[in-house]
Amino acid sequence: MSKPVLVTIENHVALIRLNRPDRRNAINQDMLIHLYNALEKLSSDDQLYVGVITGNGPSFCSGLDLKVLKTDNLFNPRGDHKDLPDILQACHKPIIGAINGHAITGGFEIALNCDFLIASEKASFADTHLKVGIHPGWGMTQHLQAAIGIRRARQMSLTAQFISARQAYEWGLVNEVVPHERLLERSLEIARQITEVNQEMLPVVRSLINYQNAHSFDDSFSHERTGFKSFVQQHLVV
């Protein structure tokens, strides 16, 4: 029986593939355990600089597997009380979402938790929490409006309708839309570009960008300037 998550490591890049194609990569407990382990490997391994998450088969991830909601522990899968946002917030490495097909509800939330998204022309996105009657818990209501604005987020979540890869690009949800057969090639190309920058400064700059999520522009600007002054004092002043 194949693993529900496959990990390939090459040139400081961890390629993480969701691998339940027969269930459209629907999320069960076993998949979460393997995904969390893979993300923690990315976070802790000094030889890994960036991760790429994609799906095997025609879908990226169709969300929670409704067939196992009453049998699998999807909210504390490893028994350590760590959930997807906890794992991702503890990871200081950039993660690229390579969206190969449908990204629905929980699968959409996995995508939204990535640093940015590259989409196949076959990708599509939908928040169907209201259609299936499940409370969001991995950041849908916050990450989606941060990505596309509150009014478009309301439209997506309240209607539970799909948007195409092209519409996602026009709304600012994805960075690029590429031909389906070039998705991994392009995503790994960007990942390699990230591996070539200064790896000591990368988490600093990433943290500075993310800082404004919980602070005002003025506070964030001041935070950056304070860090720069400290950097100058430590590195450039003789």
pLDDT tens, position by position, 47-95: 999 999 999 999 999 999 989 988 999 989 999 999 999 999 899 999 9
Could you give the CA distance from residue 130 to residue 116 in angstroms, rounded to a whole number?
25
Q: What is the mean pLDDT of residues 157-170?
A: 98
Contact present, 48 and 93 (Cβ < 8 Å) = yes
Is the pLDDT reported for residue 142 higher than 90? yes
Domain 5-195, architecture per CATH = Alpha-Beta Complex (3.90)
**Residue positions counted in the chain:** 238
* pLDDT of amino acid 61: 98
Contact present, 138 and 113 (Cβ < 8 Å) = yes
Q: Which of 114, 105, 163, 92 is nearest to 137 (CA)?
A: 105
Q: From start to end of 21-162, where are the E strands?
A: 50-55, 59-61, 95-99, 102-104, 116-120, 124-126
Is the pLDDT reported for residue 236 higher than 80? no
What are the pLDDT digits (tens) for 98-136?
999 999 999 999 999 999 999 999 999 999 999 999 999
pTM, entire model:
0.95
* H or E stretch covering 165: helix 165-170
Q: Confidence band (pLDDT; 50, 70, 90) for 186?
A: very high
Residues whose CB is less than 8 angstroms from the CB of residue 122 and which lie 6 or more positions away in sequence, other chains included: 58, 100, 101, 165, 180
Contact present, 2 and 19 (Cβ < 8 Å) = yes
Mapping DSSP to helix (H, G, I), strand (E, B) and coil, where does residue 19 land?
A: coil
* pLDDT of amino acid 234: 87
Could you give the CA distance from residue 129 to residue 199 in angstroms, rounded to a whole number?
38
DSSP assignment letter at 153: H
Mapping DSSP to helix (H, G, I), strand (E, B) and coil, where does residue 176 land?
A: strand
DSSP assignment letter at 76: S
Mapping DSSP to helix (H, G, I), strand (E, B) and coil, where does residue 211 land?
A: helix
In the beta sheet, which residues pair with residue 178? 120
Is the pLDDT reported for residue 41 higher than 90? yes
Mapping DSSP to helix (H, G, I), strand (E, B) and coil, where does residue 120 land?
A: strand
